[in-house]
Amino acid sequence: MEPCLSMSSYPAASDRPLGLRPTEHQAEHRVVVPTHVPMVALLGSRDAVLRAVEDGFPGVDVHARGNEIAVRGPAGDVAVVSQLLDELVQVVESGTALTPEVVSRSVAMLTAATAQRPAEVLTHHILSSRGRTIRPKTVGQKHYVEAIDANTITFGIGPAGTGKTYLAMAKAVQALQAKRVNRIVLTRPAVEAGEKLGFLPGSLSDKIDPYLRPLYDALHDMLDPDAIPRLIESGTIEVAPLAYMRGRTLNSSFIILDEAQNTSAEQMKMFLTRLGFGSTMVITGDATQVDLPGGTASGLQVVEDILTGVDDVEFCRLTSTDVVRHRLVSDIVDAYARWDSAQPADDRRRGTRHDRGGHR
């Protein structure tokens, strides 16, 4: 692919635009944006995208005039910023809106020296629904959705906010719409997250609905809300607690097990052996948020040791760098990981800690 931007060193000072002057250890480049790319889409409202580029590289000055962008600063940073602008132009050409968050994720990909280019990640199409397009937003998320395409069973393991369930749901709806499967089966264990909910009134469906609500929420993002009751009534979409899976064989289905850290080892085995012909399974969970009663081993924590090396099974680990919620979520995940690693192993298992005075 030909580069979208042309980059060249500045000519003599008399011909140099924007009045930029090179200094020792610095470089200058001029980036010419193709005329078919709207500058407002590239720069953002009130130059928000341009400012985000500068925020990612504090030593670099970026100035736009017409369809030219001048980049000045340390030579290494100038080269990266020029590459970043090239990637952002391709993202704009794909129809994806640029935001400061898109810029920060692109900067993270480029500075991490990954094999994936930001434009490849951010333009990877999964599903278009209700006027919006669902795409991966990080390298880890792209690897995850590619693993779902390539394997019969995929485990998505990572902290909150990494899109494990949401992307799996998008792949399920995509498979259903493409008629690769006949139905979607969504399940999760009915385990209370550290709270005693007590007696819940109503029918059995009313009692289990709070546990399954996150799955319904994702469905409403991807399908016409009026169509969901019809699909559920016809059995095309089934949302049920894990206990309902026992004794079944699920053929031609896209099956998602959410919150898998709250399965026991026996439940995990039971679920995995429901796999039928022509089906795909995705198991998601966060091994750091186990709500099982004390002493119960999490099926998610032991299954990797059991299935590693088994063909057509992939384990994808997402990290805080894949969090796409508020930026503080990533910081919180990292802070908890540091705190947890500093605790004695026995305390981590019991969920206790030492205070500053050394007492519990």
With respect to residue 237, please indicate whether it lies within any of the assigned structural domains. Answer: yes
CATH number at 60 reads: 3.30.1370.10
Q: How many domains does the chain have?
A: 2
Instruction: Find the farthest-apart pair of alpha carbons in the chain and give their distance in angstroms, rounded.
Output: 81
Whether residues 311 and 263 fall in one domain: yes
Whether residues 281 and 312 fall in one domain: yes
Whether residues 96 and 199 fall in one domain: no
The CA R_g of the chain, rounded to the nearest whole Å, is 25
**Between 105 and 237, the higher pLDDT residue:** 237
Element (H, E) at 116: none
Q: Using one digit for the tens of pLDDT, what is the confidence trace for 95-154? A: 788 888 888 888 888 887 666 788 888 888 888 876 678 889 889 999 999 999 999 999
With respect to residue 140, please indicate whether it lies within any of the assigned structural domains. Answer: yes
Whether residues 106 and 239 fall in one domain: no
With respect to residue 334, please indicate whether it lies within any of the assigned structural domains. Answer: no
Q: Which two tokens stand for residue 172?
A: 């399920």
With respect to residue 139, please indicate whether it lies within any of the assigned structural domains. Answer: yes
Whether residues 95 and 145 fall in one domain: no
Identify the band that residue 199 occupies on the pLDDT scale cut at 50, 70 and 90: low
Burial class of residue 355 in the structure, from the number of CB atoms within 10 Å of its CB (0-12 exposed, 13-18 middle, 19+ buried): exposed
Distances (CA, A) of 316 to 42, 107, 141, 158: 33, 23, 9, 8
With respect to residue 256, please indicate whether it lies within any of the assigned structural domains. Answer: yes
Whether residues 317 and 181 fall in one domain: yes
Mean pLDDT, rounded, for 66-70: 87
Query: Which of 80, 100, 122 is at the close of a domain?
Result: 122
Phi-psi region for residue 139, left (φ > 0), alpha (ψ -120 to 50) or beta? alpha
Q: Using one digit for the tens of pLDDT, what is the confidence trace for 154-178? A: 999 998 889 999 999 999 999 999 9
Whether residues 231 and 263 fall in one domain: yes
Identify the band that residue 314 occupies on the pLDDT scale cut at 50, 70 and 90: very high
What residues pair up with 188 in beta bridges, in sequence order?
241
Whether residues 91 and 134 fall in one domain: no
Q: How many Cβ atoms sit within 10 Å of the Cβ of residue 99?
A: 14
Mean pLDDT, rounded, for 85-94: 88
Identify the band that residue 17 occupies on the pLDDT scale cut at 50, 70 and 90: very low
Q: Using one digit for the tens of pLDDT, what is the confidence trace for 248-306? A: 999 999 999 999 999 999 999 999 999 999 999 999 999 888 888 877 889 999 998 99
Whether residues 197 and 267 fall in one domain: yes
With respect to residue 344, please indicate whether it lies within any of the assigned structural domains. Answer: no
DSSP string, 285-311: E-TT---SPTTPPBHHHHHHHHHTT-T
What residues pair up with 257 in beta bridges, in sequence order?
187, 283
With respect to residue 301, please indicate whether it lies within any of the assigned structural domains. Answer: yes
With respect to residue 342, please indicate whether it lies within any of the assigned structural domains. Answer: no
Return the C-alpha torsion angle 111, 116, 122, 126, nearest 10. Answer: -150
Range of the domain at 167: 130-325
Query: Which of 82, 99, 122 is at the close of a domain?
Result: 122
CATH number at 189 reads: 3.40.50.300
Whether residues 312 and 296 fall in one domain: yes
Whether residues 143 and 229 fall in one domain: yes
Phi-psi region for residue 214, left (φ > 0), alpha (ψ -120 to 50) or beta? alpha
Whether residues 39 and 156 fall in one domain: no
**Whole-angstrom distance between the N-terminal and C-terminal Cα of the chain?**
61
Mean of the per-residue pLDDT values for the chain?
Answer: 81
| Amino acid 334: pLDDT | 78
Query: Which of 104, 122, 140 is at the close of a domain?
Result: 122
